[in-house]
Amino acid sequence: MQTEDFIGLFTAMDGYPVTIRTLDPPLHEFLPSRIELMEKLLDLKLRLKGTNELEEMNSVLKEIRINEDLLTKAESLNEVNPMLGTRGCRLGIMYPELTEMQAKAIFEAACTCKHNGIDVHPEIMVPLVGAVQELTAIREEIDAAAHLVREEYDVDLQHTVGTMIELPRAALTAADIAGAADFFSFGTNDLTQTTWGFSRDDVESAFFSRYMEKGIFGTSPFETLDRTGVGRLIQLAAWEGRERKPGLKLGVCGEHGGDPDSIHFFHDSGLDYVSCSPFRVPVARLEAGRAALEAR
């Protein structure tokens, strides 16, 4: 399924780079509800008590075993704060078969497209890295998969591997991380959350209006980049990254990439590109052009 998706992406983007983020699902979003599983088990056990037919009893017992296994797995993977738990590169380190599967799908799709005359430039982006050792571990899996697929398809295929800078520690250790990365993409939504120490989903409706009234915020830091805090981390990471690797490609991934004020800041900080939601693209292109003209 992933291979078919990537074939479609590479075909549509013939000649252009395609940045693919490694799988980053908060596991709780893909698990059945523990409460629902408990309720289902209770219903099944009541059904079991109410039947004397051997065939139905065996069928119900089988369902009970399946749901008990699901409940055990759901409880073992349950996290108090899943957005700061087993996700991003941590998921790939815990379950390397996920990274291997996705990498093989990317490179098989890329080789198939090259055979069909399509110009392919895969860029693989590893999220939520906080230490260079995490990126190195994931990169080894990606590069190994690339080598195997290239040998199998007999195709000369180049790829790059980079990371999202979305944790303060990543920004503070950017020089080390740049040694293992071909590019940085600043994930400004999560970098804002982790720098301020609050969850966007929880706090926007809880106390942002009060903070605006008190003048703590002029605007929401999720709409316009907090230059003083988050912005300084970005500038530090950009500078240290390019000190270590002068040709390091730098960009932004997040809603700030469509905010005019933030775009000018990114341009002044030496970043190469911004990316954002589709409806923000016209504004992003206009402001990126204005920023470039003003700099000249």
**pLDDT at 9 (0 to 100):** 96
Q: Is the pLDDT of residue 151 over 90?
A: yes
What is the pTM (predicted TM-score) of this model? 0.85
Mean pLDDT of 15-31: 84
Beta bridge partners of 187: 253
Q: Name the most confidently modeled range: 31-40, 42-51, 66-75, 253-262.
A: 253-262
Whether the per-residue pLDDT at 68 is higher than 80: the answer is yes
Evaluate if residue 54 carries a pLDDT over 90.
Answer: no
Taking 80 as the threshold, does the pLDDT of residue 28 lie above it?
A: no
Give the start-to-end residue ranges of the domains of the chain: 2-25+82-295, 32-77
Give the residue-averaged pLDDT of 179-189.
97
DSSP codes of every residue in 122-179: EEEEE-S--SHHHHHHHHHHHHHHHHHHHHHHT-----EEEEEE-SHHHHHTHHHHHT
Give yes or no for a contact between 247 and 199, defined as CB atoms under 8 angstroms apart: no
The confidence band for 31, taking pLDDT boundaries of 50, 70 and 90, is confident
The whole-number pLDDT of residue 78 equals 76
Q: What is the mean pLDDT of residues 120-133?
A: 96
CATH class of 2-25+82-295: alpha beta
Segment 199-255, tens digit of pLDDT: 887 787 788 889 889 998 888 899 999 999 999 999 999 999 999 999 999 999 988
Token pair for 235: 């500038």
